[in-house]
Copies of this chain bind each other. A is one copy, B any other.
Amino acid sequence: MNADPAGVLTGAHFIDGDHACCEGAIAAGCRFVAGYPITPSTEVVERIAERFPRVGGVFIQMEDEIASSIAIQGAVWAGKKAMTVTSGPGFSLMMEHVGFAAMTETPCVFVNVQRAGPSTGLPTQPAQGDMMQARWGSHGDYQAIAVCPNSPQECFDLTIKAFNLSEQYRVPVFLMMDECVGHMTERVLIPPAEEISLVPRRWFLGSPENYEPFRAGPDMVPQMVKAGDGFHIHVTGLTHDERGYPNMSVPAQEKLVQRLHDKITKHSATIADYVEDQVEGADIVVVTYGITSRTALPAIERARKEGLKVGHLRLVVVWPFPEHRIRELASRISAFVVPEMNMGQVVLEVERCSAGKVPATLVGHTGGTVHVPEDIYQGIVNSRKGR
């Protein structure tokens, strides 16, 4: 399925990441957004508010982030693609509904334009401190997907990808931007609608008698219907059976929650998205995501110039974590260097998956600004010394 041309502003634009995210959402077919203002994410919804009435979308500024994060799920069950947009403090408030979306298999997108925390922190300055929260922030076991753009162009592209992944697997997908990317203005090329492919909702096309809303086929993702189509579905955050009815038994829990887990982990190779540069034959691999995939480049180049064999593994999708690839590399290289605008989050996963074969060195900081390339360079150099 291709994008609806009515919503696609084909052409070259000089816009920031927040605005590009808005355009990505519209191109992806998103037609419902509920949000609550918070720096540095507000520009996304401000543009949505302006653009939506022209493309058949509905935007509502809700009373808080809790309301926003559940209103979008109501809209999804009414048949729309929907997203909400926030930053750290608001993201924390949305955690209960991340779990609800996971449990009810409601496809939806949460955009988090990360700023420096904890708490109110530095509201106008960038960080990547919510990465583990995107993995573990709601109670109970669930799986979600997190995608990290590094430019306004990617804010456009990956917003579309986030919607596609969300529809494909019926999970909440996090677009983990940061203030730097959100407020950075660059050229964004919006392709013609027919070059934008979308994953449509996985509609069930049969008749109500044959429909069990939470019975999945071999790919573990059930088909959906929407309210108003006469299916009289029931959707609950309680543990439920295939009909969607509450079932307070351990076997029901096992069946449901295991499937919710497996539908992501067993597809993790398909979901994985990373970009490699000179990783083959590398001695040191720098693992980056989001804006660090750019701020690390001067450091990588300098190190290469000085003769170090430095590869660059840039994670586009951070969750599910590409365990397999890290494990493979760990047995071939001599060190990982992981620059993060936090005090060490994704590096823990790199460390775990490198299984002691090679060290994983964090180049972290407490946030508020992007890395100085020098620091990453030193991290690369030190990772060699460390041996």
Contacts and interface: CB of A to CB of B under 8 A. Distances in A.
Interface residues of A, number: 67
Contacts of A260: 118
Contacts of A369: 250
Copies in the complex: 2
A343 B129 contact: no
B92 A118 contact: no
Main SS of chain A's interface residues? mixed
Contact of A238 (B114, B120, B133, B258): B120
A246 to B, nearest CB: 9
A294 interface: no
Interface in A129-145: 129-130, 132-133, 135-142
Given A248-B124, A258-B366, A119 B137 contact: no
A322 to B, nearest CB: 15
Interface in A51-104: 66, 88-89, 91-93, 95-96, 98-100, 102-104
Given A136-B136, A137-B137, A354-B356, 18 more contacts: A92-B137, A92-B138, A92-B139, A100-B120, A103-B119, A114-B139, A117-B142, A119-B138, A119-B238, A120-B236, A121-B239, A122-B238, A125-B248, A129-B139, A250-B369, A257-B367, A355-B355, A355-B356
Interface of A: 66, 88-89, 91-93, 95-96, 98-100, 102-104, 114, 116-125, 127, 129-130, 132-133, 135-142, 236-239, 248-250, 253-254, 256-258, 260-261, 342-343, 345, 348, 351-352, 354-357, 365-369
